[in-house]
């Protein structure tokens, strides 16, 4: 039912897992039959399902042989063997943060699917939920998804809760966009927010000196007094990003009145459909179940991390403990003078969210702390 492989090598690395939706639904069917019709009927059903699995495997082997030219099959036979396959990816909770950090896993999942899918009979579905985030993060996520189009694979995106701003940019890479009736869609716009601490620093007698080469290397930053020229240049940059965003949506959804929808506003599913932002209303579960009922083989593809080797975890724990001690000393400890905010940010910078500090070395794997993110498009949000 599940097959795992590690394309990265070594312990503790992500492993690709492929789970059959069909077999999971068959398990439900077996349990229901056992509860309602008894063991005898359950055994008959299990035998029938095993035969169908064996037949499907034989068909796949024969179809592969035909595709590679090592077997001769009639067109009628090839049509019968070419069972449609649907590859399902996910970009939802745990991946859809502000920096779109889940794209690091998504890109490898996309590679795995493209390397094994057949454009003549396969389709890809992405279950997407995201409110958007940085231009660079979600721009990369969208570029990765465009690889399906380049590979000639039919691509559907289905949204259960939200695809706003950068999330909707990702959705526009699909041939077909579906969403649930109460999903939030749109927010085609750009925003940048920046705390200006220049005056506060002046009161504390702190001067922040920046040396640049290039007139617009620094415009708005937290550490210098903004000028009208700075603001105008920053506004120009944001408008340029918006125009690129609008052109991308328009090229993917030519029927959309782009000036009507590119206002930063959002709409629930039915209104989004009226405006042409989505093609139909449906949940991801309903879509995948419909594929199964149509006789397709549905496979959910995902990377997951294993526990790694015990020895590696010991060294990781030691490194993290040492780093935490240094950070505590830098901050002066709880309730003592120092710079606790900076120490906390430095400590948090190196730890990947979702993992205990004791299991992670202090390495830069995630986004830098907020005060380090004031360089141009880094903090510009879709």
Q: Which helix (H) or strand (E) holds 168?
A: helix 166-171
Element (H, E) at 122: strand 122-130
Beta strands at 154-164 and 122-130: parallel, antiparallel or unpaired? parallel
Three-state DSSP class for 332? coil
Measured in whole angstroms, the distance separating CA 124 from the mean position of its chain's CA atoms is 14
| 246-259 b/e (C-beta count within 10 Å ≥ 16 → b) | bebbbebbeebebe
Q: What's the longest Cα–Cα distance across the chain?
A: 85
User: Which residues sit opposite 177 in a β-bridge?
Assistant: 157
Sequence-ordered list of residues with C-beta below 8 angstroms from that of 72, at least 6 positions apart, any chain: 66
Catalytic sites, residue numbers:
165, 217
Phi, psi of 12 (to 5 degrees): 75, 5
Tell me how far apart the alpha carbons of residues 15 and 18 are, in angstroms, rounded to a whole number.
10
* Cα–Cα nearest to 165, from 280, 261, 239: 261
Q: Which residues are within 8 A (CB) of 219 and not within 5 positions of it... i.e. 6 or more apart? A: 226, 230, 231, 233, 234, 237
Contact in structure between 91 and 141 (CB atoms under 8 Å): yes
**How far, in Å, CA of 222 to CA of 201, rounded?**
10
Which residues does 251 contact at the CB level (< 8 Å), separation at least 6? none
Which DSSP letter does residue 357 get?
Answer: G
Cβ pair 288, 88 in contact under 8 A:
yes
């Amino acid at each position: 039912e599940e097959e795992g492989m590690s394309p990265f090598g070594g312990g503790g690395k992500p492993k690709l897992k492929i789970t059959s939706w069909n077999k999971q639904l068959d398990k439900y069917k077996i349990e229901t039959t056992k509860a309602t019709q008894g063991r005898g009927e359950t055994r008959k059903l299990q035998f029938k399902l095993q035969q169908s699995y064996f037949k499907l495997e034989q068909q796949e082997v024969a179809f592969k042989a035909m595709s590679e030219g090592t077997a001769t099959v009639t067109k009628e036979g090839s049509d019968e063997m070419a069972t449609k396959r649907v590859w399902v990816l996910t970009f939802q909770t745990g991946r859809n943060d502000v920096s779109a950090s889940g794209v690091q896993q998504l890109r490898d999942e996309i590679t795995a699917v493209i390397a094994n899918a057949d454009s003549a009979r396969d389709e890809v579905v992405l279950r997407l939920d995201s409110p958007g985030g940085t231009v660079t993060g979600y721009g990369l996520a969208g570029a990765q998804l465009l690889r399906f189009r380049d590979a000639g694979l039919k691509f559907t995106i289905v949204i259960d809760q939200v695809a706003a701003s950068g999330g909707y940019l990702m959705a526009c890479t699909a041939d077909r966009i579906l969403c649930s009736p109460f999903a939030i869609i749109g927010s085609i716009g750009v925003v940048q927010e920046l705390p200006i601490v220049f005056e506060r620093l002046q009161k504390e007698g702190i001067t922040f000196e920046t040396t640049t080469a290039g007139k617009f290397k620094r415009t708005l930053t937290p550490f210098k007094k903004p000028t009208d020229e700075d603001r105008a240049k920053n506004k120009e940059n944001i408008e340029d990003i918006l125009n690129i965003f609008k052109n991308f949506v328009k090229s993917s959804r030519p029927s959309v009145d782009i000036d009507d929808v590119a206002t930063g506003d959002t709409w629930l599913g039915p209104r989004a459909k009226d405006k042409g932002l989505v093609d139909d209303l449906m949940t991801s579960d309903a879509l995948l179940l419909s594929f199964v009922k149509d006789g397709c083989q549905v496979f959910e593809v995902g990377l997951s991390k294993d526990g790694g080797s015990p020895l590696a975890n010991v060294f990781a724990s030691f490194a993290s403990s040492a780093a935490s001690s240094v950070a505590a000393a830098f901050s002066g400890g709880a309730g003592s003078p120092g710079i606790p905010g900076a120490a906390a940010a430095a400590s948090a910078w190196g730890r990947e969210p979702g993992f205990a500090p004791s299991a992670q070395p202090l390495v830069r794997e995630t986004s830098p702390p907020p005060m380090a993110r004031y360089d141009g498009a880094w903090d510009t949000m879709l």
